[in-house]
Amino acid sequence: MTKLAIALALALVSSANALSQQRLQTPTLEESVVDFYVAEFHRVVNVDPEVFVKAAPIIKEFIRARFDISARRQETLEQLRMLVNRGNSNEEDMKRAIRDLDKADADIHANQERFLSSIDPLLNTRQQGRVRIFQQVADQAMRQMLNKVQNARSANK
């Protein structure tokens, strides 16, 4: 269960080390995170089986896109850090990295909007509220778990 919680944290938080490490893990772990998120969504939002059948693919697509966008964003951020810290970096390379980072940020936002605009028509107003609370609470809990894991790793070094 701890590995699954850690994996969910990595999927939901765009932390510097977390996403780099997550991308090194097997796709099976990513799928476990997706399945866990879908199950928690079903439990917390409390949807009927008919609605859940329609919602599950939307949720899976959202989480998979989140993985991909976050990984791309993390790679771009690392590249930008390297360019900024190197004294002789080409200004055009830095501008491109900044544009790529801004694009990834916009893609994260667009993915969230796409998810909500797809899922909301399936839900009543109370469930729509639960979705937003679920996402906020899940993200916050994952950040806290991730911090604990990173602190434990730092202590073991």
- pLDDT category of residue 24 using cuts at 50, 70 and 90: low
- What 3-state DSSP class applies to 90? coil
Q: What is the pLDDT of residues 41-52, one digit of tens each?
A: 999 999 999 999
Share of the chain above pLDDT 90, in %: 52
- pLDDT category of residue 69 using cuts at 50, 70 and 90: very high
**Residue whose C-alpha is closest to residue 131's, from 23, 59, 79:** 59
